[in-house]
Amino acid sequence: MAIGQFGPALEQALKRSGDTREKAGLIVHADASLVGKIARGTRKASKPVMSAAAEHYDDGQLYLAAAAEVTGGASAPWLDNVDLHRASVMFKTIEEVKEVLEASSDAPISKTNKQLNDSERKQIKRLLMETVEAITALTHLAAVLCKEYSFSWLSTWKEHRADLKAKQYMK
Write out the H or E segment, with its range, that includes residue 144.
helix 118-148
In this prediction, residue 3 has a pLDDT band, given cuts at 50, 70 and 90, of low
What's the confidence (pLDDT) of residue 100?
A: 98
- In angstroms, the CA 169 to CA 144 distance is 27
Q: End-to-end CA distance of the chain, in Å?
A: 37
| Three-state SS at 19 | coil
Average pLDDT, the chain: 95
**Contact of 108 with 116, CB cutoff 8 Å:** yes
Residues 62-69, mean pLDDT to the nearest whole number: 94
In this prediction, residue 4 has a pLDDT band, given cuts at 50, 70 and 90, of confident
Buried b (16+ CB within 10 A) or exposed e, 68-77: bbeeeeebbe
| pLDDT surpasses 50 at 131 | yes
> How does pLDDT run across 91-121, given as a tens digit for each residue?
999 999 999 999 999 999 999 999 999 999 9
